[in-house]
Amino acid sequence: MANYNVDDMGWSDARNLLRKWRDDNERKSDDVMQLWDNVLSSKQSKLGNERHLVLEQVIIAALDCNRIETAEHCVSILSAEFPGSLRIQKYRSMLLEALERYDDALDELEQIIRKDETNAAPRKRKVAILKTQGRTAEAIKELCDYMKVFMSDQEGWHELCNLYLAEGEYAKAAFCMEELLLHNPHSHLIHQRLADIRYTMGGIENIEMAKTHYCKAVKLNVNNLRALYGLFLCCGHICNSKAVVAKRKEAQKLAQWAMAQIQSRTQPAKQDTKGAIKSGKSRTAGGDDELQALEQAFGGLEVGKVAN
């Protein structure tokens, strides 16, 4: 809170500041707790209609700062005023989660889901708890059930892909990324990640698919070095495979182009003045060393010639 002096602030200033952070979607948990402790905790009655919003904001900040007693106090106030609220029940489950009472937190979330099956937040919290406990298989099952209801949730597909990768289920992870491509076909990062998965799976068919997605990623973002490296590796595999000669020649040209693009983006730019050239010698030498290391790393991939 470098721009604010808590000691000089009145309750209305603190209220307005918290309102601004809520509107801007900023957590600022440490700052929220300072305002609560020094200004607002004893002025709750003056907050009017914003009192409940402030209490919710303080609950989140207290959990972030491991201020469990403050979070419990605010949750108890809201629970007394809204005993049947699913929203307050969600905060109770978050408090139980912070206390590492995961089974009790899961029970609370199950109650919320049974009362409102369209509520996405408790389903996501349930997956997060299962993941925290290391119960990856159960987290995958729960997230699959969630995706059947909320099929357009892109974050859910990303998380399901990560869980499948953690379990070594590359084909299912690739399916998740393909679903994401349907929602966002012009994202070079999604194409790149799908290509990474296909390349990891291995086999000439997956390498061909990886090459296609790396090409698309480079087309969407010419500065994507990871996609260029991946494209070079895929082409190297195809050149050394038993594919038809036409495919191997095409892969050879593409690999040479990819390496040229990598070199143009990793080598330092040429200097025009003599003084700049002298000062840049050490940097140029460093770039040559990097290029030499790159060539040694890819030395096993012979893309210079294609045998008939």
Using the 8-state DSSP alphabet, how is residue 161 labeled?
H
| pLDDT over threshold 70, residue 297 | no
Helix (H, G, I), strand (E, B) or coil at 10: coil
Lowest mean pLDDT among 65-69, 226-230, 241-245, 290-294: 290-294
Helix (H, G, I), strand (E, B) or coil at 126: helix
Per-residue pLDDT, averaged over 218-247, amounts to: 88
Going by C-alpha positions, the residue among 247, 220, 221, 226 that lies closest to residue 303 is 247
> Helices 86-98 and 51-64 sit at what angle, rounded to 10 degrees?
20
> Higher pLDDT residue, 172 or 35?
172
Percent of the chain with pLDDT over 90: 31
Sign of CA dihedral 67, 70, 73, 76: negative
d(CA 110, CA 184): 32
- Looking at residue 273, its pLDDT comes to 42
Percent of the chain with pLDDT over 70: 84
- The whole domain housing 196 covers 184-264
- Looking at residue 139, its pLDDT comes to 93
Whether 259 maps to a domain, the answer reads yes
Whether 243 maps to a domain, the answer reads yes
Whether 103 maps to a domain, the answer reads no
Per-residue pLDDT, averaged over 188-199, amounts to: 94
Per-residue pLDDT, averaged over 196-215, amounts to: 92
- Looking at residue 246, its pLDDT comes to 86
Distances (CA, A) of 280 to 167, 274, 276: 47, 10, 6
Last residue of a domain, one of 49, 83, 117: 83
Q: What is the pLDDT of residues 147-164, one digit of tens each?
A: 998 888 899 999 999 999
Per-residue pLDDT, averaged over 210-226, amounts to: 92
Per-residue pLDDT, averaged over 178-204, amounts to: 93
Whether 13 maps to a domain, the answer reads yes
Using the 8-state DSSP alphabet, how is residue 39 labeled?
I
Whether 88 maps to a domain, the answer reads no
- Looking at residue 303, its pLDDT comes to 46
Read off the tokens for 174.
């690739």
Last residue of a domain, one of 264, 279, 294: 264
d(CA 254, CA 70): 61
Per-residue pLDDT, averaged over 25-33, amounts to: 88
Task: Please state the domain count of the chain.
Answer: 2
- Looking at residue 292, its pLDDT comes to 57
Whether 252 maps to a domain, the answer reads yes
Q: Tell me the pLDDT band of 247, cut-offs 50, 70 and 90.
A: confident
**pLDDT averaged over every residue in the chain:** 83
CATH number of the domain bearing residue 237:
1.25.40
Last residue of a domain, one of 54, 83, 112: 83
What does the radius of gyration of the chain's CA atoms come to, in whole angstroms? 28
pTM, whole model, 2 decimals? 0.75
Whether 255 maps to a domain, the answer reads yes
